[in-house]
Amino acid sequence: MIDFLRGKVVHTELEYVVLDVRDVGYRVFTPNPYALAAKEEAVQLFIHHHVREDAIQLFGFVTRDEQWMFRRLLEVSGIGPKVALGIMAGGKPETIAAAIQQENLTFLTKLPGIGKKTAQRMILDLKDKLGGTDGLWTASAIEEVSSPAVMGGGTSWAAAREALGGLGYREAELDRAWHGIKDKVTGQESPDALMKLALQQLFQG
């Protein structure tokens, strides 16, 4: 079982990166592939090794908290690894945990791929499992969930814009990308989720 991988990002797609670990390329699905691509130094990803009959997949996360939350999401009926990855791209572990603890359906149903029934299952299956998690359910996370305007087009887009600038995109290109995605933004997106939306817009020209 692989716990973590450390290496350089040599290829990037919308859903995954290829990590060069001692001349072996590992395809790792991650919620923030383009943020990782912006790093010139080696990166370390904490891995969830997912095995099923027709595939073996690696899912990677920058922190242990992200890895832990991803695994908890997989315990929810109806949530598979791709949906869980989308959830992780849509919110930080601590804000997801806080929303579940608060039974905040409004926040949860704005996460990618989550409808009302799935959000209710998340609360039912996970609420009792998150109460004792150190470092996840914090006062600042509760404030973010309660005040969603802090996220999305404000602080999150500023962080996403900075990361995209690090990839070489010009200010004019980023302004056009924001103009193309702003109507899709709900105010709940993480910087990584906004980066994905902006990159899709940029690729479309």
Residue type for position 72: R
- The verdict on 120 and 71 lying in the same domain is yes
pLDDT at 71: 94
**pTM reported for the whole predicted model:** 0.69
Domain membership of residue 41 as a residue range: 4-61
Q: What is the pLDDT of residue 80?
A: 92
Q: Are 119 and 186 part of one and the same domain?
A: no
Indicate the residue among 146, 169, 189 that finishes a domain. 146
Provide the pLDDT for residue 118: 93
| pLDDT tens across the length of the chain (205 residues) | 889 999 999 999 888 999 999 999 999 999 878 778 777 889 999 999 998 878 889 999 999 999 999 999 999 988 999 999 988 887 788 888 988 988 998 888 888 788 899 999 999 999 888 754 454 555 445 555 555 443 444 557 777 777 787 777 887 788 788 888 877 777 667 777 888 888 888 877 5
154 plus 192 within the same structural domain: yes
Tokens of 125: 């299956």
Q: Are residues 141 and 169 in the same domain?
A: no
Are 131 and 182 members of one domain? no
The DSSP output letter for 9 is E
Contact 165, 174 (CB under 8 A): yes
Q: Are residues 196 and 133 in the same domain?
A: no
Please name the helix (run of DSSP H) or strand (run of DSSP E) that holds residue 123, with its range, or none: helix 116-130
Q: Look at residue 99 and tell me if it is in a domain.
A: yes
Under 8 Å between Cβ of 27 and 36: no
Shared-domain flag, residues 23 and 74: no
- The reply to whether 25 falls in a domain is yes
Structure tokens at 33: 């592939």
Do residues 137 and 161 share a domain? no
Residue 205, domain member (yes or no): no
Q: Is residue 43 a contact partner of residue 6, using CB atoms and an 8 Å limit?
A: yes
What is residue 151's predicted lDDT score, i.e. its pLDDT? Answer: 41
Same domain, 153 and 140: no
153 assigned to some structural domain: yes
Judge contact between 167 and 37, C-beta under 8 A.
yes
Domains: count for the chain:
3
Determine, yes or no, domain membership for 92.
Answer: yes
Residue 76 sits in a domain whose CATH number is 1.10.150.20
Q: For position 169, what pLDDT does the model report?
A: 81
Q: How far apart are CA 127 and CA 137, in angstroms?
A: 11
